Amino acid sequence: MQIPSHNHEQLVLRQDSASGLSAVIAIHSTRLGPAAGGCRHWVYENTEAAVCDALRLAEGMTYKNALADIPFGGGKSVILGRPEQPLTQQQLEVFGGWIEELNGAYITAEDVGMRVADMRLIARKTRFVSGLGLAGVGGDPSPSTALGVYNGMVTAVRSKFGVAQLDGLRVAVQGLGNVGFSLCELLARAGVKLVVADLNPDRVAAVVSRFGAQSCASEEILQQDVEVIAPCALGGVLTAESVAQLSAGVVAGSANNQLASPEVADLLRRRSILYAPDYVINAGGVISIAHEYLGKNDPSWVAERIGGIASRLSWIFTESENAQCSTETVARSLANDRLAQGKCVALRGVA
């Protein structure tokens, strides 16, 4: 297997033949604290694809956590899934044991394909897990992620179209899993006309019946005639080809690593499509995870940080205009400044 060159602190590949578990744990940076980032359970073409995904996702977590004002570095894990095979209790416990062996360098939680019940099984073997939802605190991070995306979308729409409300706008949501579903709920309540797609027809049916959404084929969702595209499935959906076909003016969604490559951010800018950098707008979930992990029981701590997502985006949009560069460039440079200072610091005048 060819391991891509990377600048991560640790890359762990593990296999357990007894349970049939294979996983990758990538720790990008512990500069601001232990590396926190969810665990993804997905079917990959091969181990190399899983390693590449883990490396990219872990790096994104470093920027996300630095900007979200939480004392954590960036890491991520992926479990190589097999089609139609849910993880067993034995596998989740083995995975928990591997995390424990890292002695706190990495903290896991839910991501694509993982649920609170999985985290509770992982927690039987490690202390370094969050998203457990014990004693009514924390748990599934998706509603917090969706809330941050919703607030960020309102900010992006205001900046792009000069309107303060989403009422009457058309939004296309790609992916109706934990975050996509919660986001549709918020958008429907705000009077948005929804167009939705998911590979899973049951999820589409649920959103169509609950929120009066219109559905379309998965391969057509990005080309819908809408004001906003919300990618809430997997990464890499914004390519030179897909951006050329967008008719939306705003891209604001939860999916990690939406840009297939960094240059796509410039293409978006050239087409005057306002892109809300994914690791800024989707930080609500990790904020909830951090709150739970740090043993807090203070809803205002979470609310203040999720509120900060919209103001941070607003600052990034303005800077991008002033500096005539992409929103991604501004966000990355802000994150790097924070990393260079070695601490989470508030922006001047921004939460």
Interaction site with ligand NAD (CB under 6 A): 110-113, 141-142, 145, 174-180, 197-200, 203, 218, 232-234, 254-256, 282, 285
Residue 28 to residues 9, 33, 88, 108, 141, Cα–Cα distance (Å) = 5, 11, 28, 14, 22
Q: Which residue is nearest to ligand NAD (CB)?
A: 177
Buried residues in 105-121 as b, exposed as e (16+ CB within 10 A): bbbbbbbbbbbbebbbb
Q: Amino acid identity of 306?
A: I
* Distance in Å, CB of 27 to ligand NAD, minimum: 17
Catalytic residue check, 76: yes
Q: Which is nearer to ligand NAD, 198 or 292 (CB)?
A: 198
Complex with ligand NAD: residue 233 or 316, whichever CB lies closer = 233
Query: What is the smallest separation between the CB atom of 63 and ligand NAD, expressed in angstroms?
Result: 13
CB of 176 to ligand NAD, least distance (A): 5
Rounded least distance, CB 230 to ligand NAD, Å: 10
Q: Catalytic residue among 76, 125, 160, 193, which?
A: 76
Angle among Cα 266, 152, 220 to the nearest 5 degrees reads: 60
The closest alpha carbon to 146, from 288, 299, 41, belongs to 288
Q: What is the closest distance, in whole angstroms, from the C-beta atom of residue 297 to ligand NAD in the complex?
A: 20
Residue 247, both tokens: 């008719």
Beta carbon nearer to ligand NAD, 51 or 112? 112
In this complex, which beta carbon is closest to ligand NAD, that of residue 45 or of residue 322?
A: 45
Nearer to ligand NAD, 258 or 329 (CB): 258
Beta-strand (E) ranges in 141-244? 170-174, 193-197, 214-215, 228-231
**73 touches 102 (CB < 8 A):** no
Nearest partner of 53 among 73, 23, 17, 90, judged by Cα: 23
The residues annotated with a catalytic role in the active site are 76
